[in-house]
Amino acid sequence: MINNSSMFAKSPFKPLRDHMNKVVECVVPLKEFFEALNQRNFVKVVEIQQQISLAEEEADLIKNEVRNHLPRNIFMPINRSDLLEMLDMQDTIADVAQDIVELLALRRMSLPTELRQDLILFVEKAQSVCYMAQGLSEEFGDVLESGFGRHEIKKLLAMIDQVSSAETEADDLEDALVRRMFEVEDKMKPVDVMFWYEVFEWIGDLADYSKKTGSRLRLMIAQN
């Protein structure tokens, strides 16, 4: 638990890294969740939904600890406001993952068979962008420890570019999935179609907010 200012003074980014690790725990089971949904294994669906909800609650606890104990009156190599913005972006990823599984577990919706593989590929890509963002969090710790060393910054900036490219690939997969949905939506309940479009957008948000964490890190680097 985060309970004193000295922890931030020693390693101001570590609490955010701990939070990001917990956020990723909300993302890891998503592929398995959608596979269970496609198989109409609703016992497994609910089990994973509860697993993700618990991880999201734990991420909230870490978030609140960071907010409550982030010091205002000591020197840190990065701005307090930047840390808090980064925290909110990370936390949104966990919130979105929870929203996805809660909606689908409640409504027990499944896609037409011909769309299921495309959905899994989209989910996998969104997950991979989140994992890359987790790597950015780890690498930024090295940048801080090096005193913003040139080599470490160059490596981190290259990783940020990779996250941005991967997020674009996730966007492309989302667009392709939406186009395929147009072709089969007449076979589906209109209300299910509406909710599925919302779920697609949320899956895309997982990648988008992961990219935003990289953009925030880029700004932090530029300010130092």
Banded model confidence at residue 2, pLDDT cuts 50, 70, 90: very low
pLDDT at 204: 98
Tokens standing for 37?
Answer: 């949904």
pLDDT at 74: 52
- Tally the domains of the chain: 1
pLDDT at 156: 93
Alpha carbon 217 to chain centroid distance? 15
CATH number at residue 18: 1.20.58.220
Q: Among all chains, which residue has been given the structure tokens 């307090």? A: 80
Judge whether 115 and 180 are in contact, CB under 8 Å: yes
Main-chain phi, psi angles of 223, to 5 degrees: -85, -5
> Which residues does 199 contact at the CB level (< 8 Å), separation at least 6?
100, 103, 104
Burial of 183 (0-12, 13-18, 19+ CB in 10 A): exposed
Banded model confidence at residue 76, pLDDT cuts 50, 70, 90: low
Judge whether 72 and 42 are in contact, CB under 8 Å: no
Q: From CA 30, how far away is CA 98, in angstroms rounded?
A: 10
pTM for this one?
0.91
pLDDT in tens, 101-151: 999 999 998 888 999 999 999 999 999 999 999 999 888 888 877 777 888
Range of the domain at 144: 5-222
Q: From CA 108, how far away is CA 184, in angstroms rounded?
A: 19
